[in-house]
Amino acid sequence: MAVYNQIKADAILMGKLKHDADLLEELTEICKQNKIQLGRVEALGAVKKARIGFYDQQKKEYNFFEIDKPLEITNLIGNVSLKDGEPIVHAHITLADAKGNAFGGHLAPGTIIFACEFIINSYEGPEYCRGLDQQTHLPLWKME
Ligand code: ZN
């Protein structure tokens, strides 16, 4: 059964990220600086290189791979919640190369920004805290 809450939209942040910075770290830092504990993230732009994770459902572990070339961010979608009391951005990204071939997965540290425009929607609502989920071994939201 799906578990969810009704939440209210608060502030919206819209801007651009720093050239040469780490994409996931930048987004996380903005959330920390603005005390955003619950929210939605979207972005587009380009990266110099990417590091992406794929969760092996059998082995219950992430495999990470790097794509060491310029890529367009055709989509980045994510959410903001809490892990160990700190804001954490969970984002998935789709990237395209010079020929339009697309790659995607779980955004990992090591994805370096060329240019990036972002929107972060901050929400008011109950705390969404991540903790180890027994079934998947993923740090999912603890909800009843
Ligand atoms: Zn993920």
CATH number belonging to domain 9-141: 3.30.1330.80
pLDDT single digits (tens) 57-93:
999 999 999 999 999 999 999 999 999 999 999 999 9
Q: Which of 107, 119, 89, 121 is nearest to 11 (CA)?
A: 121
Cross-strand partners of 30: none
User: 40 CA to middle of ligand 1, Å?
Assistant: 14
d(CA 121, CA 103): 26
> In whole angstroms, what separates CA 85 from the centre of its chain?
17
Domain positions in the chain are: 9-141
pLDDT at 144: 76
Q: Quote the ligand 1 centre to 88 CA distance (angstroms).
A: 12
Per-residue pLDDT band for 20 (boundaries 50, 70, 90) equals very high
* CB contact burial 94-122 (16+ within 10 A = b; e otherwise): bbbeeeeeeebbbbbeebbbbebebebbb
Interval 90-121: pLDDT, tens: 999 999 999 999 999 999 999 999 999 999 99
**What distance in angstroms lies between residue 92's CA and the mean position of ligand 1's atoms?**
6
